[in-house]
Every structure is written in structure tokens, then in C-alpha cells.
Amino acid sequence: MSLNSIFQYFVPKDRKVFFPLFEQAAGNLVVMSNVLIEAVNTADLKKREELYNQIDKLENFGDELTHQIYQELSKNFITPFDREDITALTSAIDDVADYIQGSVNRMSLYKVEEISKSMISLSELILAGSLEIDKAIKELKDLKNVRAIADCCIRINNIENQADDIFDRAVADLFLYEKDAINLIKYKEVLAALETATDMCEDVANVLETILVKNA
């Protein structure tokens, strides 16, 4: 076996494996977020449940992508950047999907029929964060446009700060105006899950910033 053949055995086709999977996972967040927006803006309860089911299927697809990335990580000797950062980025993207699904699961299980303005606002911020993640991931494969990735991370941090403010105000209003203790608990749980999804977007940004620093 020639030296070139041996070398080719160890060198992964990383740009044909890892980055397309990252891009699919990030794109899946955008699709999930758009379905979430549609769900919280419809008054048709049957249609809303159908949209919740779509999100469940999309989250399962995201899990499959996560599994594929981990499989590729176990097979490839050389990776495009540090293995722990690949693991962290994969996990962080998966966490966003988990909390989007967790939010709609709570809405469904708790029979939340009236969607509040705060829930809609938080859903819109999840979509905004997902779009920024998608943009950043598309720039990650060659790291030629570091400024664009950094700007996405800054915007994600700002989105998370906005979500904190909306969540705090919404919970304060619940304690001020909601007289039904069960409704208060249900709405607070849903709001918390939605807000946590924006926290998970910020976690993705933190991993991306780590990758930028290491590869500067």
C-alpha cells in the first residue's frame, strides 16, 4: 500500500460529512421554529395539534442527525476542528430542538388553548435565534468570514436578553392578574420552556465563539 493510500485512509472527507450534517441540523431548527410560529398563531386547536406533531417528527429527525454526527466522530481520525467542540456544538443544537419540542409538548399536555402574546413573542425570538444559528453554521466550514459568525453570536446574545425581559414581565403579570392557580402554573411552565430554548440558542453561540477563538 502506498503512503498516499495510507494517508487517505486516515483523512476524513470532513467537508462532505460534518459540515453538511451541521447545516442540516441548523436548518432543522429553522423549520421547527417556523412550525412553532404557525402553531402559536392559529386558533384552530385541531390544526395546532397537527403542527405539534410535526415538531415531534422534526425533533426526531434532529436526533437522527445528532446520532450521525457522533457516528462520524467515532469513525474519523482527523476532524475539521477539536472533537470536544464538535460534540459541544452538536449537543447545543440538539438542545434547542429539545426545548422547542418540550414547549409544544407542555402546551399539548396541559391543554393550553389560549396562547398569550408573551408566548408568541418568545416563539418569534426562538425563530430569530435559529435563523442566526443557521447563518453562522453556513459560514463555519471555511472560517473565511469570522466577522459574520461573530456578529451572529452577538445577535443571538441580544435575542436571549430580550427573551429574559419578556419572560420576567410575563411571569410578573401572571402573579399579578391570574387568579386560577392551575392556569398560572401551566402558563409559567410553557413560558419557561420557551425562554429556555433561547438560552440554548445562546449556548450554541458560546460554542461557536470558542471555535472561533481556537481557530483564529
Complete DSSP assignment for 108-157: HHTT--S--HHHHHHHHHHHHHHHHHHHHHHHHTT---HHHHHHHHHHHH
pLDDT score at 3: 39
**CATH number assigned to the domain with residue range 13-214, chosen from the 4 options 1.20.58.220, 1.10.287.3510, 1.10.645.10, 2.40.290.10:** 1.20.58.220
Contact 68, 21 (CB under 8 A): yes
Per DSSP, the three-state class of 171 is helix
pTM comes to 0.91
Q: What is the pLDDT of residues 107-144, one digit of tens each?
A: 999 999 999 999 999 999 999 999 999 999 999 887 77
CA 169 to CA 37: how far, in whole Å?
21
pLDDT score at 12: 45
Residue 158: exposure state from Cβ atoms within 10 A (0-12, 13-18, ≥19): middle
Q: Chain-wide mean pLDDT for the chain?
A: 91
Q: What is the pLDDT of residues 136-189, one digit of tens each?
A: 999 988 777 899 999 999 999 999 999 999 999 999 999 999 999 999 999 999
Q: What is the pLDDT of residues 190-202, one digit of tens each?
A: 999 999 999 999 9
- Terminal CA-to-CA distance of the chain, rounded, Å? 37
Grid cell 467515532 in the structure block, residue: 74
CA 80 to CA 22: how far, in whole Å?
12
Q: What is the pLDDT of residues 64-98, one digit of tens each?
A: 999 999 998 888 767 888 889 999 999 999 999 99
